[in-house]
């Protein structure tokens, strides 16, 4: 029971870690280049969730001081993650650009097939 | 307040935004590009002198004091790294402008190089964890872009692989920063360290996980064995100037950032207390042996140089693992010496490939007689890589070996010797065959014009100069090594 209680209070962290592992796994094991990029995005999103939930307080509001409110959310992680999202976006855009070029050159999105085509040419 | 630390980055960024706008007027763009690099280098040199004289410089962006404001810290180590970046980037950017074009969009290429330089300078001077992360990401993106800009199939495939692994590394680093922020509530490195002195023992699991992620994240980015798999492809398929920048500077900038996190955030006491040093030593030993062994079997000149970079990164990590004063000095000095030498070798290799039209080592027999100056430059680089006395590589290897002996680790001194012998087995045959190969040269080729040779000459002279007068930079190196010691 203690474990379940611990998990339920740290639910955001748990979900973030699960998403991180899903993203990590997709990125490394899938052959499809688009799926690799999706994995990258899932991983980044999990990190954003993790970061934002560090600053989150249940029932807290944005830190604009008002009367009668005692609970505020820490704004620093949210502000940082705004930058993180921009970085993740530019990585995704760049990766997709590279995938378009790879498809033009090889006619496939399968990483294994690309490697096979390359090694056939060398050998 | 001295503005030099922030002006280095701002100048480069400003030039990076102006250059692509001038794509119709290429000569103007080239002038802006060179101006940006030169001016920021002047700031960097000035900062190094200031740090040497007055100690650590700090700069508060917008005048906001930490922990709320963003801090830029130029300590001896950061100033030294910034100086290395500035000095190496000067001849390379000259090469970018004056060498025959390898890319179709020169203005964009120059902008990417400026962006890369700005990111690296920012990375070695950042005093704030999240800023460090942002600069790491900019650096990753622009480093990948200067490979892909070549536009060939191989370079695009290599850069995609680099991108995937690099994204994994960034994810690890961001996760580690989140874990550290979670228990300290700060992002400013100085404050995090103060807070960790108390909280590290309260939340050991957090700090261990964070360390593991930092270690893996930076291992990918700095190509520390066994996470170097992307490096040979990426560095060998890039345009010449990019290869020199990537092998000479980018991997080192990441390593510098890693070292700074270790002593500015985690703290040297904790670094020594945890079993990180044995891991670093083992990885370094593997990198030195495996990197060299792979380099021996390569027939592509640039791939060979790329594998040699893996081995040479091993030396730098080895000094960090040994952690005695002289080993650290050797390690820090090797950052500069290897940057000079490998930039020289990659530029020479690029010129050789351009002039002869072949990248196979077996085709270079007798070519030394046709292009004597280029191969002379290559020879100087090879001698330095192997560690012949009188050349730059010797000094740093000597310091490393002495540092190993200082703490009684004879086996690592022997390892440096063995690895140097391995280096000799792949560098010397090229030089010997090029000059004394009996067969007639099979390919056409001659030395390029003087303006292309100039950066090679500068690097070759620098290699000899650093071999004969290492004492020029030693005061700064000594201070930097002193910072790392507990």
Query: Whose CA is closest to B395, among B457, B472, B324, B322?
Result: B472
Shortest CA gap A95–chain B (Å): 7
Asked if B346 contacts B284 with a C-beta cutoff of 8 angstroms, the reply is no
Largest CA distance in chain B: 71
User: What per-residue confidence (pLDDT) applies to A8?
Assistant: 82
Q: Give B10-24 as a 3 state SS string.
A: HHHHHHHHHHHHHCC
A27-34 contacts at long range (C-beta below 8 A, 24 or more positions apart): A27/B164, A27/B167, A27/B168, A28/B168, A31/A110, A31/A111, A31/A112, A31/A113, A32/A109, A32/A110, A32/A111, A33/A99, A33/A102, A33/A109, A33/A110, A33/A111, A33/B160, A34/A99, A34/A109
Torsional class of B185: left (φ above 0), alpha (ψ -120 to 50), beta (otherwise): left
Whether A79 contacts chain B with CB within 8 A: no
- Ordered per-residue pLDDT tens for chain B, 486 residues: 688 889 999 999 999 999 999 988 889 999 999 999 999 999 999 999 999 888 888 888 888 888 788 889 898 999 999 999 999 999 999 999 988 888 888 889 999 999 999 999 999 999 889 899 999 999 999 999 999 998 888 899 999 999 999 999 999 999 999 999 988 888 888 888 888 888 888 888 888 889 999 999 999 999 988 888 899 989 989 999 999 999 999 999 999 999 998 888 887 778 778 888 889 999 999 999 999 999 999 989 999 999 999 999 999 999 988 888 899 999 999 999 999 999 999 999 999 998 888 888 888 888 888 888 999 999 999 999 998 898 999 999 999 999 999 888 889 999 999 999 999 999 998 888 888 877 666 777 777 888 889 999 999 999 999 999 988 889 899 988 888 876
Task: Give CA–CA dist B382/B344, Å, rounded.
Answer: 10
**Does the beta-carbon distance from A43 to B167 stay under 8 Å?**
yes
**Does the beta-carbon distance from A50 to B167 stay under 8 Å?**
no
**Nearest Cα residue in chain A from B147:** A98
Domain boundaries, chain B: 277-486
Work out the percent of chain A whose per-residue pLDDT is above 70: 98
A15-39, pLDDT tens digit by residue?
Answer: 999 999 999 999 889 889 999 999 9
Best interface-test mutation with A: which of B69, B136, B164 has the largest number of A CBs within 10 A?
A: B164
Q: Give the closest of A40, A99, A105 to B167, CB-based.
A: A40
Backbone angles phi, psi at A72, to 5 degrees: -125, 150
Whether A83 contacts chain B with CB within 8 A: yes
Asked if residue A1 has pLDDT above 80, the reply is no
Shortest CA gap B153–chain A (Å): 6
Say which residue the tokens 């203690």 belong to.
A2
**Nearest Cα residue in chain A from B149:** A98
Whether A19 contacts chain B with CB within 8 A: no
**Does the beta-carbon distance from B163 to A84 stay under 8 Å?**
no
Residues of A in contact with B168 (CB under 8 A): 24, 27-28, 43
Residues of B in contact with A52 (CB under 8 A): none
User: What per-residue confidence (pLDDT) applies to B190?
Assistant: 87
Tell me the H-state helices in B129-203. Answer: 129-148, 153-184, 189-202
Task: Tell me the CA end-to-end span of chain A in Å, nearest whole number.
Answer: 60
Best interface-test mutation with B: which of A87, A95, A102 has the largest number of B CBs within 10 A?
A: A87
- Is B418 strand, coil or helix? helix
**Does the beta-carbon distance from B171 to A105 stay under 8 Å?**
no
Asked if B455 contacts B92 with a C-beta cutoff of 8 angstroms, the reply is yes
User: What per-residue confidence (pLDDT) applies to B110?
Assistant: 92
Task: Give CA–CA dist B469/B462, Å, rounded.
Answer: 10
Q: Give the closest of B144, B145, B171 to A43, CB-based.
A: B171
Enclosing H/E stretch for B74: strand B71-74
CA dihedral B286, B289, B292, B297 (to 10 degrees): -100
User: What per-residue confidence (pLDDT) applies to A11?
Assistant: 87
**Nearest Cα residue in chain A from B145:** A94
**Does the beta-carbon distance from B160 to A95 stay under 8 Å?**
yes
Task: Tell me which DSSP letter residue B62 carries.
Answer: G
Task: Tell me the CA end-to-end span of chain B in Å, nearest whole number.
Answer: 29
Asked if residue A123 has pLDDT above 60, the reply is no
Torsional class of B146: left (φ above 0), alpha (ψ -120 to 50), beta (otherwise): alpha
Task: Give CA–CA dist B228/B310, Å, rounded.
Answer: 7
* Token pair belonging to B44: 């960097």
CA distances from B91 to B29, B76, B99, B343, B347 (A): 17, 24, 11, 9, 10
Write down all domains in chain A, each with its CATH number in brackets: 2-122 (1.10.287.3510)
Best interface-test mutation with A: which of B163, B184, B216 has the largest number of A CBs within 10 A?
A: B163
Say which residue the tokens 């090229």 belong to.
B430
The DSSP bridge pattern shows strands B71-74 and B57-60 to be antiparallel
* Token pair belonging to B215: 């270690």
Residues of B in contact with A24 (CB under 8 A): 168, 171
Whether A119 contacts chain B with CB within 8 A: no
**Does the beta-carbon distance from A80 to B130 stay under 8 Å?**
yes
Gyration radius from chain B CA atoms: 21
ipTM: 0.93
Best interface-test mutation with A: which of B70, B154, B159, B175 has the largest number of A CBs within 10 A?
A: B175
User: What per-residue confidence (pLDDT) applies to B151?
Assistant: 85
Backbone angles phi, psi at B234, to 5 degrees: -65, -45
Residues of B in contact with A106 (CB under 8 A): 153
Backbone angles phi, psi at B126, to 5 degrees: -65, 140
User: What per-residue confidence (pLDDT) applies to A116?
Assistant: 85
């Amino acid at each position: 029971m203690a474990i379940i209680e611990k998990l339920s209070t740290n639910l955001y962290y748990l979900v973030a870690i699960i998403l991180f592992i899903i993203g990590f796994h997709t990125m490394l094991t899938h052959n499809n280049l688009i799926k690799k990029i999706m994995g990258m995005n899932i991983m980044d999103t999990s990190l954003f969730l993790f970061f934002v939930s560090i600053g989150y307080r249940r029932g807290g509001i944005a830190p604009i001081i008002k009367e009668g409110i005692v609970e505020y959310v820490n704004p620093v992680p949210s502000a940082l993650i705004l930058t993180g999202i921009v970085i993740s976006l530019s990585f995704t855009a760049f990766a997709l650009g590279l995938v378009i070029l790879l498809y033009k050159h090889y006619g496939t999105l399968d990483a294994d097939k690309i490697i096979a085509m390359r090694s056939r040419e060398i050998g | 307040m001295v503005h030099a630390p922030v002006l280095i980055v701002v100048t480069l960024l400003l030039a990076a935004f102006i250059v692509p706008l001038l794509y119709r007027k290429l000569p103007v763009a080239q002038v802006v590009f060179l101006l940006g690099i030169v001016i920021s280098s002047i700031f960097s040199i000035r900062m190094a002198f200031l740090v040497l004289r007055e100690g650590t410089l700090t700069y508060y962006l917008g005048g906001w004091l930490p922990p709320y404001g963003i801090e830029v810290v130029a300590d001896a180590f950061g100033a030294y790294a910034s100086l290395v970046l500035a000095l190496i980037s000067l001849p390379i950017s000259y090469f970018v402008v004056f060498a025959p074009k390898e890319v179709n969009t020169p203005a964009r290429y120059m902008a990417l190089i400026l962006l890369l330089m700005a990111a690296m300078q920012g990375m070695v001077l950042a005093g704030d964890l999240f800023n460090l992360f942002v600069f790491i990401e900019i650096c990753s993106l622009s480093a990948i872009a200067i490979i892909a800009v070549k536009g060939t199939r191989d370079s695009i495939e290599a850069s995609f692989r680099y991108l995937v692994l690099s994204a994994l590394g960034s994810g690890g680093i961001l996760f580690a920063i989140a874990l550290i922020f979670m228990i300290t509530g700060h992002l400013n490195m100085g404050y995090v360290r103060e807070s960790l002195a108390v909280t590290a023992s309260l939340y050991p699991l957090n700090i261990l996980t964070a360390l593991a992620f930092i270690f893996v994240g930076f291992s990918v980015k700095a190509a520390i064995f066994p996470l170097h798999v992307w490096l040979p492809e990426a560095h060998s398929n890039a345009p010449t100037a990019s290869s020199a920048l990537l092998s000479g500077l980018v991997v080192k900038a990441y390593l510098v950032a890693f070292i700074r996190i270790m002593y500015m955030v985690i703290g040297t006491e904790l670094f020594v207390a945890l079993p990180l040093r044995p891991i670093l030593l083992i990885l370094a030993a593997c990198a030195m042996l495996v990197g060299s062994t792979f380099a021996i079997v390569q027939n592509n000149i640039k791939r060979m140089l790329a594998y040699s970079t893996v081995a040479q990164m091993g030396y730098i990590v080895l000094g960090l693992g040994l952690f005695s004063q002289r080993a650290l000095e050797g390690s820090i000095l090797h950052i500069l010496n290897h940057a000079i030498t490998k930039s020289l070798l990659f530029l020479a290799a690029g010129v050789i490939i351009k002039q002869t039209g072949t990248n196979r080592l077996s085709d270079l027999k007798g070519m030394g007689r046709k292009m004597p100056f280029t191969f002379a430059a290559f020879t100087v680089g090879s001698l330095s890589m192997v560690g012949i006395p009188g050349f730059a590589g010797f000094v740093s290897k000597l310091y490393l070996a002495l540092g190993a002996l200082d703490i009684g680790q004879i086996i690592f001194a022997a390892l440096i010797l063995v690895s140097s012998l391995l280096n000799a087995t792949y560098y010397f045959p090229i030089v010997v065959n090029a000059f004394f190969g009996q067969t007639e040269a099979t390919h056409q080729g001659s030395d390029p014009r003087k303006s292309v040779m100039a950066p090679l000459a500068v690097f070759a002279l620098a290699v000899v100069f650093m071999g004969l007068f290492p004492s020029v930079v030693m005061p700064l190196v000594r201070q930097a090594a002193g910072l790392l010691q507990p």
